[in-house]
Amino acid sequence: MISKIYQYSPIWTQNLACTIKGSIEKKSRMGGDFSKILKDLKKSEWYKKEEIEDIQIEELKKLVNYCYNNTPSYSELSNLFKTN
């Protein structure tokens, strides 16, 4: 139905519809934290190897901690490795 309306609309209306759809798509892809993440990535391009490894270790710790606290199977699995 929408494609029929688009097909039979005047060109200026089709152009407007494409512009609106494109704006919605751009906001969906590049909204939220996109700008902050892009800024951080550009900054990290110049980090030394050791700095990158430190960041990776910290992020891995956060991920493991999150999994342990929010996923029952991870916390149950960790009980198998505890010693008395």
C-alpha pair distances (Å), 14 with each of 9, 36, 55, 71 = 6, 34, 47, 48
Residues 39-74: pLDDT tens digits?
888 999 999 999 999 999 999 999 988 988 888 887
Q: Would you tell me how many other CB atoms lie within 10 Å of the CB of residue 17?
A: 14
List the domain boundaries for the chain: 1-46, 47-84
Supply the pLDDT for residue 76.
74
> What's the predicted TM-score (pTM) here?
0.48
